[in-house]
Amino acid sequence: MVRSATASDNDVIGQLRQRVRGEVSDATIHRAVYSADASVYRQVPRAVVHPLDEDDLIGAVTTCTAAGVPVTLRGAGTSIAGQVLGRGVVIDTSRHMREVLEIDPENQTAWVQPGVILDDLRAQAGKHGLTFGPDPSTHSRCTMGGMIGNDSCGSHSVAWGRTADNVEELDVLLADGTRLTVGPTSREDLDALCSRSDRVGELYRDLRAMVEGNLALLRTGFPSLQRRVSGYALDSLLPENEFNLARALVGSEGTCAVVLRAKVRLVRPPASRVLVVAAFPDMPTAADSVPSILDLQPLTVEGTGADMVATLKAHSPDGRGPAALSQLPEGGGWLFIEVGGDDPTDAAERGRAMCAALDRLATATRVVTDKAQQRSLWSLREAGSGLVTRSPDGAEAWPGWEDAAVPPERLGAYLKDFQRLQAKHGLGGIPYGHFGEGCVHIRIDFDLDSDGGRAVFRAFMEDAADLVVSYGGSVSGEHGDGQARGELLPRMYSPELMALFARFKAMFDPEDHLNPGIGVQPRPMDEDLRVSGPVRALPLALSYPHDDGSLAKATRRCVGVGKCVDTSTGVMCPSYMVTGKEEHSTRGRARLLGEMLRGELVTDGWQSTEVRDALDLCLSCKGCSSDCPVNVDMATYKSEFLHQHYRGRVRPMSHYSMGALPLWLRFAGPAAPVANAVARSRVLSPALKRVAGVEPKRDLPEFANTTLIRAMRRRDRRRRDVPREAPRGEVLLFPDSFTNYLDPGVGAAAVEVLEHAGFSVRLPRGPVCCGLTWVSTGQLDVARFVMRRTTKVLADAVAADIPIVGLEPSCTSALRGELPEMVDTDAARGVGERTTTLAGLLAERASDVDFGELSGDALTQVHCHQHATLGFEADRDLIGGTGLSNRVLDSGCCGLAGNFGFEPGHYDVSVGAAERVLIPEVRAADADTTVLADGFSCRTQVDQLTGRRPEHLAEVLRRAIRTGTDAGHAAGASDVSDPAPDA
């Protein structure tokens, strides 16, 4: 429900809508999703604006400031200190203002809009052999405007500096509407600017007077280290620094001016790179070796420790962690050192020289030249920003004291003292970071829910600031001050320098319209904590075993690092990749659910239409459960919400039709010819779709003329007296509804493959269903009933320790995940433990079997649930073993996603997700290219959009088996008929 708006609010919103062509919204759904960033803070804005272009941005700012409404600029929302939150109007430039305006290869510069994604700039610059040097771990989604606001750095600042070092000019807007371009200023130009009679002349006269009156203070008042990003960089205005106002504004966190466009410096990276991994007994010892490394001019020196390795293992399904961990030399602390060269030989020689320099310091070193291995090792480091939000034991950890920096030569001693300080306050965290510049990242297990815990938070922050200052460091070495560290600046800077900061801010924004509460007049660090608000005691249907039974704690897994708003790759988040709207990201939905549980902004609990609408476009693909660094599982949260939202109420018709699809298939299956005739009818099919709540643009799937179960029964009767050898024992093939009724040929192929591999195949002795369609539509009581019945039917297989082979990835995933959690019995857990994919079984128990050979190219679409919960390595190996030249598409979700793509209102998003990568790849493939897709939804989507029917892995393996026999049919193969749809 929307809170009552004041007349002033309404006036401003109306004026914004008249002045701005882009979206202007004061709806609860948008105010909620923009109420948090990647920090621990919460500020609910009055409205959110998405400017289309520069004119829109100017109009939005000037309209707000003229009305006295505060303005906060925001990019990707990954700021960790709370500097992109505000109670006024939040302006998000990341949706539309994403154009690289110009690249000048000769002078190695580029003009960019503030919403340009860093990776997009680097991709365009890369065409000229150039790149932008600073590269934070959020490079796939962070914006140039955000990087300028925070003075972002990244791992390669050892070589190429901070963002401030790479900004040439800024085109900025002041709060009063004045526009000017700033950069380095010669004495002659400064005199000319000061002679002007307008607002620009007044500003430059004030700035010159401030500098000339405080030369000694500006030269001595700042700590001497590269990673100092706290406070305003007023020393950039010194004569020896070319009176560079652009660099003074970088890192000002939107408190002084609004960036309209920026001219940035590009660098030419080395032609080749190698990675040196050095192991040490512990992290402080690793840090002590950094000074000896810097003389060899590395591109980066990153540090991590045993705690991070333990966390990586704890977050992996098998407890072993990413495969890249096996490449780490044995130790308790590691340095990742990148070295560049003119060619691979030169780079390798430089890498070996680095190892020689570390010979007496490190316990082991290795030079990694293979690019794939380098990427996998770097992925360990980049995962840190999300993973450390949970400790290995599952405790929550928070930013706040996130990225302090000290001189690199003092880093080892600082780490030891910092560990003692944590122990003094009874706190823990996992440190890692940019050791080459003395910058340490850490998230700490503060108790922000209690008064006592918040008191410890404040006391620790103050003590930690004093510790860093005693080492000549900065309270922020990368992510800025924001609300988290603004209060600490007086501990770092003298009163005289703090007074200059206030004077600087007043010159640009005397009325404090731009991002108030950040910078010189900060809000208290222990106020506005989003994790310390009220939590409504709403009923829950699911257990949330990994979050202590709390949906609130589950939604707090999302700390805003924003991997779900990376549209360049991966499964997560398909709806956001199509719409680009924050409320359709995993992060946005988690924020909305958190606000619902808080009950202050979203006040109607489970009946919230805002949450319902945001979740409506969630495809339940489960990609977030694996791709999100902290394993947010929005598919599960959506099921809970739908269950509670529609409890005792009439549901959408699609829930009754597609939610209960296994039941309808069971009833209609015997009348397949009639059902298919209706589905094909130009008159009856549209009527059926209307009644069933099916999207009119979708074709209805057709029934097979017989089911897999009937075909298997006929086969078993025929073979009753024929002895069969099964040296590898018995397996139970799970006849999911899609395979059984709609595509039993897949099941027939699987039977032939399994029997070729030496297994005896049987089906369950009664009706079974994984219950997933009821789960995805939030009918959890029915789903639990169905799962219990399935558990009973499978009890004999569990008792006999017989593998259960699933063919449909979504159903297999449900048997392994949802069923054990929802039924929560030993028998249900036994089902989950014994359920495997076809490839998983063959890899584990029949790895020596020859399935024959095929030739040609193949494209594979990995089902989302398989990607998220089952794994694909065994499938990849089997496909490669047939001789096919296989390429696994980085296509994400196919877009159909079970019932999602068949529901009215979802067609455009469903097709948009498919058209991102999958469908263009299939259309471009040669006619003889094998297209693989194990998911029925994936095959259906491809079929309906291209007319091409992909194959299941079982069908490809069967084809390989048959190709390898003279008779065209493998000896001893199954004689299950291939039931095709009725003609």
| 827-839 confidence digits (pLDDT tens) | 999 999 999 999 9
Which tokens in the block code for residue 617? Answer: 């476009």
pLDDT tens per residue, range 507-548: 999 999 999 999 889 999 999 999 888 899 899 999 999 899
Max CA distance (Å), the chain? 106
pLDDT the model gives residue 967:
42
Half-sphere exposure of 324 (CA within 13 A, CB side): 18
pLDDT the model gives residue 982:
39
Distances from the Cα of 871 to the Cαs of 361, 723, 775, 838, 864, in angstroms? 39, 36, 22, 12, 10
Give the confidence band of 389 by pLDDT, cuts at 50, 70, 90: confident
**Roughly how many angstroms between the first and final C-alpha of the chain, as a whole number?**
53
Alpha-carbon span 239 to 208, nearest angstrom:
10
pLDDT tens per residue, range 4-13: 344 467 799 9
Alpha-carbon span 356 to 376, nearest angstrom:
24
Q: What is the DSSP string of 430-483?
A: --EEEGGGTEEE--B----SSHHHHHHHHHHHHHHHHHHHHTT-BS-SSS--HH
Alpha-carbon span 849 to 842, nearest angstrom:
8
Mean pLDDT, rounded, for 647-651: 94
Alpha-carbon span 672 to 654, nearest angstrom:
21
pLDDT tens per residue, range 102-131: 999 999 999 999 999 999 999 999 999 999
pLDDT tens per residue, range 803-823: 999 999 999 999 999 999 999
pLDDT the model gives residue 321:
75
User: Looking at the predicted structure, is the pLDDT value of residue 3 above 50?
Assistant: no
pLDDT the model gives residue 667:
87
Counting residues of the chain whose pLDDT is more than 90, the rounded percentage is: 84
Strands annotated E in 194-313: 258-265, 272-280, 300-305
pLDDT the model gives residue 380:
79
Alpha-carbon span 400 to 285, nearest angstrom:
26
Which tokens in the block code for residue 416? Answer: 């030891």
Alpha-carbon span 712 to 60, nearest angstrom:
67
pLDDT the model gives residue 972:
41
CA 35 to chain centre: 19
Window from 54-58, 93-97, 323-327, 483-487 with minimum mean pLDDT: 323-327
Give the confidence band of 210 by pLDDT, cuts at 50, 70, 90: very high
pLDDT the model gives residue 6:
45
Alpha-carbon span 506 to 499, nearest angstrom:
11
β-pairing, 23-25 vs 47-50, is antiparallel
Alpha-carbon span 163 to 150, nearest angstrom:
9
**Phi, psi (deg, nearest 5) at residue 481:** -90, -55
pLDDT tens per residue, range 738-751: 999 999 999 999 99
User: Looking at the predicted structure, is the pLDDT value of residue 411 above 70?
Assistant: yes
User: Looking at the predicted structure, is the pLDDT value of residue 714 above 70?
Assistant: yes
What's the order of all strands across the beta sheet hosting 760-762?
760-762, 730-733, 804-806, 835-837
β-pairing, 333-341 vs 272-280, is antiparallel
User: Looking at the predicted structure, is the pLDDT value of residue 467 above 90?
Assistant: yes
| 8 Å CB contact between 597 and 644 | no
- Using DSSP, state whether 622 is helix, strand or coil: coil
For the chain, what is the mean pLDDT?
93
- Using DSSP, state whether 110 is helix, strand or coil: strand
User: Looking at the predicted structure, is the pLDDT value of residue 244 above 60?
Assistant: yes
User: Looking at the predicted structure, is the pLDDT value of residue 76 above 90?
Assistant: yes
pLDDT tens per residue, range 261-274: 999 999 999 999 99
